[in-house]
Amino acid sequence: MSPVTSTDLTERAVIFTLGEERYGVSVDRVREVQRIVAFSGAPSHSEAVIGMVNLRGAVVPVIDMRIVAGIPATEYTAETPMIICSTEDQLVALVVDQVEDVRDLPDARLKPLTKLHPLAQQVLGTCRCNHSLVYLLDVDALVAQVALCEAV
């Protein structure tokens, strides 16, 4: 049996869209994908936290990823998806435009993201997948950044 090399490692990610861009979240962090449900308002200084949802007894903050990415918000419909993710210490619901599929993103192809991208501090890397770029999100860094905006 041959040893595992870095080119053998693959990140499996749930791919979703925000506007014209494609993003991914590691399947290890995704609990489930569901349609948006009614949520209550939440006291927050961050515009990205649009409310709270009760998910089987857990109170989960709902984050609009369009706002986080600096894209104008859109109206939510019954078809708007939420990706329920686990962080180091909590669950969060990420509202996105569309969920595509689960894809393999080889680690060897992940490249650092330019610091000019609005989510540069919340992205683990980027790679080509099906002829377009996919930005792999760091959910912990994303939630920390949103929380930092709340503290300001």
Sheet containing 10-18: order of strands: 98-106, 10-18, 21-26, 132-137, 123-129
Q: Region 80-85: what's the mean pLDDT?
A: 97
Q: In 10 A of CB 66, how many CB atoms?
A: 17
User: What pLDDT band is residue 148 in, cutting at 50, 70 and 90?
Assistant: low
Percentage of the chain modeled with pLDDT above 90? 48
Q: State residue 104's pLDDT score.
A: 86
Is residue 139 over pLDDT 50? yes
| 125 pLDDT more than 90 | no
- Between 5 and 119, the more confident residue is 119
If pLDDT is split at 50, 70 and 90, which confidence band does 3 have?
very low
User: Which residues touch 90 (CB under 8 Å, ≥6 apart)?
Assistant: 60, 61, 143
- Express each pLDDT in 98-117 by its tens digit: 999 999 876 667 788 777 77
Residue 151 phi, psi (nearest 5): -75, -20
Closest C-alpha to 124, from 6, 9, 26 = 26
Nearest Cα residue to 25 out of 111, 112, 124: 124
**What integer is the mean pLDDT of 28-42?**
90
pLDDT band at 83 (very low <50, low <70, confident <90, very high): very high
Q: Where are the alpha helices (DSSP H) in 50-138?
A: 65-68
Contacts of residue 86, defined as CB under 8 A and 6 or more positions apart, other chains included, come to: 29, 31, 139
Asked if CATH classification 2.40.50.180 holds for the domain at 6-151, the reply, yes or no, is yes
Whether the pLDDT of residue 61 is over 90: the answer is yes
Q: Which residues pair with 15 in a beta bridge?
A: 24, 101
20/56 Cα distance (integer angstroms): 33
